[in-house]
Copies of this chain bind each other. A is one copy, B any other.
Amino acid sequence: MADNVIVLSVEKNMKGKATSFDIAHYAGVSQSTVSRALRNSPLVNEETRRRVHEIAKKLNYKVDKNASNLRTQQSSTLALLLFEDPTEDESQINPFFLSMLGSITRACAKEGYDLLVSFQSTSSDWHADYEDSHRADGLILLGYGDYIDYQSKLQTLLDNHTKFVCWGATVDNRPDLTVSCDNYGGGVLAAKHLIDMVRTDCAFIGDASDHSPEFFARFKGFRDTLKAKGIEVSDRKMANAISTEDSGYHATRSLIANNVKFNALFAASDLIAIGAIKALQEAGVRVPHDVHVVGFDNIAAAGYVSPSLTTVQQNTTLAGQMLVDNLLTLIRGEAVASTLLPPKLIIRQSSR
């Protein structure tokens, strides 16, 4: 009771926040003991522990993270670096990444880690020293723009012994640093579906090159599956695009302008597919009647567009969880296996 009164009155007089010394004073123990009690060390007497916790609560005490991080040399924080394609509209973020962000945030919370979020332009000299400056114990990298440029930056991280994991992009000789969707397998699913629908005169839109390894893998799975049926995807029926609606729209328009004929279209991403559908419809081409369209990602918009979009789903919830889990394992210095997540075909109106 008396304690109560003293503590409360002092609380009001305190400038700034309470420290472990304040608690030590009111509990009548040393500051070391307070620290131990607060961390629930088994070395502390149960009754002492109880009192310390009680007083801490009364004083609204919270351990100063800067001090404890400095002392323990770790931060219990991960940093998410999001690389955006520089050509993309400033205000819009790729919805697929946004979805990943959500699952990564949840996964971090679950593991008791904080998450720092940062957008990086692909051009700048990033890797942003989050780890060097002890703000984060490790990095999660999402997106990369041009993969060739990106590779050298990853090398810098490796040289600095920075702990990190990537989504999608593989790191030379370090498959353990990547969590990825089975993009090749996703391309296979798309091709099989179109074969089932007897729509094998296929176009492909997206960057099928080493600059975009994920898109390239999707294309390869698609191409190889058709080839096994004796069907070629000719160069004429391919158009380059980055993952935006606009880019997909213009790529499709160029195919149409060149009078390229096809009865199915596989887009490397949903955003591309949505732009493609728009271009097709404007040109009087009916989807799915004249052309079946299949996308990749299963972003929310895929269910909203008209016709709704058949697509290859990536499991973002699992992806976020795996990225965080693998990174934490790496931080602990343990070995991690390469992680390939299974894609899933979602059939909607655009291909039936």
Contact = CB atoms under 8 A, between A and B. Distances in A.
A134 B63 CA distance: 8
B109 A118 contact: yes
A93 B60 CA distance: 32
A135 interface: yes
A116 B119 contact: no
Contacts of A103: 91
Contacts of A240: none
Copies in the complex: 2
A140 to B, nearest CB: 12
Contacts of A114: 116, 118, 135
A231 interface: no
Contacts of A109: 118-119
Contacts of A317: 91
A66 B69 contact: yes
B64 A95 contact: no
B119 A118 contact: no
A152 B75 CA distance: 31
A76 to B, nearest CB: 10
B274 A304 contact: yes
Interface string A80-121: 000000000001110100110111011001000011111100
Secondary structure class of chain A's binding surface, majority of residues: mixed
Interface string A43-69: 000000000000000001111111101
A134 B66 contact: yes
A306 interface: yes
Contacts of A91: 102-103, 316-317
A17 interface: yes
Given A98-B98, A101-B101, A133 B65 contact: yes
Given A304-B301, A304-B304, A98 B105 contact: no
A133 B301 contact: no
A305 B17 CA distance: 51
B300 A160 contact: no
Contacts of A301: 300-301, 304
Which of A75, A98, A160 gathers most chain B CB within 10 Å? A98
A101 B80 CA distance: 13
A61 B69 CA distance: 18
Contacts of A149: none
A232 interface: no
A116 to B, nearest CB: 5
A133 B61 CA distance: 8
B64 A67 contact: no
A129 interface: yes
Contact of A60 (B160, B300, B306): B160
Contacts of A65: 66, 133-135
Interface in A227-256: none
A83 to B, nearest CB: 13
A290 interface: no
Nearest to A315: B91
16 contacts: A62-B129, A64-B133, A64-B134, A65-B135, A66-B67, A66-B134, A91-B317, A92-B102, A93-B98, A98-B98, A102-B119, A105-B117, A109-B119, A301-B301, A304-B304, A305-B306
